[in-house]
Amino acid sequence: MQILKALGPTVARVSTTEALRAGVGALVGLGLTGLFLLSPHLDAGGGLFLIAPFGATSVLLFAVPNSPLAQPWSAIVGNTLAAVIGIAACLTVPDPVLRIALAVGLAITATILCRAVHPPAGAVAMTAAMSPEIARELGFWFALAPVAIGTTALVVLAALYARITGRRYPFRQFDDPSKHRTDDRNPTERLGLSENELTAILDRYSQSFNLGVEDLARMIGAAELQAAAQSSGPLTAQDIMSRGLVTVGPDTPLGAVADLFRQHRFTSLPVVTPDMVFLGVIFQMHLISQARDDALRLKRGYRPALRRLLDRDREKPIRAGDIMSVAGPRATTDTPIGALLPMMADGDVDAVPVLAYGKIVGIVTRTDLIAALARHAARSGGCQ
């Protein structure tokens, strides 16, 4: 039974949406490359033709873009270097079996030494070694066209596709600034471990080819957050939520919204219908962002833009419904506070509405969550 288990799939299940995202990405990438740059038919004269290894490169770029093996350096340098080695083997070694094996073996060694491991590079070297006619016609030009040009095109398209579909490619580097554009790392990635220490962990377990340092930091941070959530006790959103709600309707003028922010010192206001059906939420930052956009558009200072924004009801009314967010996280009364932690850990939102049958019954703010965790920690400490 254990043997059969070992032969089964080891990759975790993914959603149909993610599978379609990867497949459509490869379709778009190879389709555009073949339509506008490289011909699907062999062009031994110009070298502008598609080769089979581009299919394997597409798997990495569009299906596992976070893999170190899929990053631009690995893809472009790995494929190009392998093409040079494959052509060199084809031009110097007459025996086909020997030159194919030699080309692939040398390509693996060279790409590892250049920190450019890219599995399709082995197929690039093999393709070159198996094609003496291409080697005669193109020589080392084959490494530039189609290999380097085609790989670069796929990398560029993968980066654009990732941005369009809400992914990140190339992946973040360990020393990239946080989402707040400061030198601090994101809260869930502040581990107390340096880049060198994380790299040493990857090397110790021979995982350098499978996981980047940035991803390892995110995984450790997520694990720590999950552990904290599990130790936070059986409290639910209903136990800690604020019930004295101050809400606005979708037609509430922005001036009135700003007055409520000032009066109550809130950072968020739910937007509801008259019978309390939840529609969305306005964060104070939405108001600031709208004023900033006006300031940039009108080339005026921020404060005049904010005053103009709040007085605009006389000209072109902007209402709460125009700037509210409808895509943020939501909770029910039974949601454990452990599930609320990751919703607010990175600072994207500082309040989560609590709903019952579509109607808002409370809201959990970051202050509510911190207070609940502090009480739990105090009680736990007192019991020891």
pTM over 0.85: no
Q: How confident is the model at residue 212 (pLDDT cuts 50, 70, 90)?
A: confident
Specify whether the CB–CB gap between 77 and 38 falls below 8 A.
Answer: no
Q: Average pLDDT for residues 355-368, to the nearest whole number?
A: 92
Q: Average pLDDT for residues 181-192, to the nearest whole number?
A: 55
Q: How confident is the model at residue 313 (pLDDT cuts 50, 70, 90)?
A: very low
Q: Average pLDDT for residues 97-116, to the nearest whole number?
A: 97
* Integer Cα distance of 77 and 148 in angstroms: 8
% the chain with pLDDT above 90: 48
Output the pLDDT for position 283. Answer: 86
Specify whether the CB–CB gap between 212 and 171 falls below 8 A.
Answer: yes
Give me the phi and psi of 291, to 5 degrees please. -65, -40
Give per-residue pLDDT as tens, 158-181. Answer: 999 999 998 889 986 655 665 545
Q: Average pLDDT for residues 111-139, to the nearest whole number?
A: 95
Output the pLDDT for position 121. Answer: 97
* Integer Cα distance of 203 and 185 in angstroms: 23
* Integer Cα distance of 92 and 219 in angstroms: 47
* Integer Cα distance of 287 and 274 in angstroms: 23
More reliable by pLDDT, 127 or 343:
127
CA atoms lying within 13 Å on the CB side of residue 100: 9
Q: How confident is the model at residue 156 (pLDDT cuts 50, 70, 90)?
A: very high
* pLDDT surpassing 80 at residue 193: no
Q: Average pLDDT for residues 181-208, to the nearest whole number?
A: 68
Q: Sort residue 253 into left (φ over 0), alpha (ψ -120 to 50) or beta.
A: beta
* 23 burial level (CB within 10 Å; 0-12, 13-18, 19+): middle
Q: What angle do CA 227, 180, 332 make, to 5 degrees?
A: 45
* Integer Cα distance of 57 and 42 in angstroms: 19
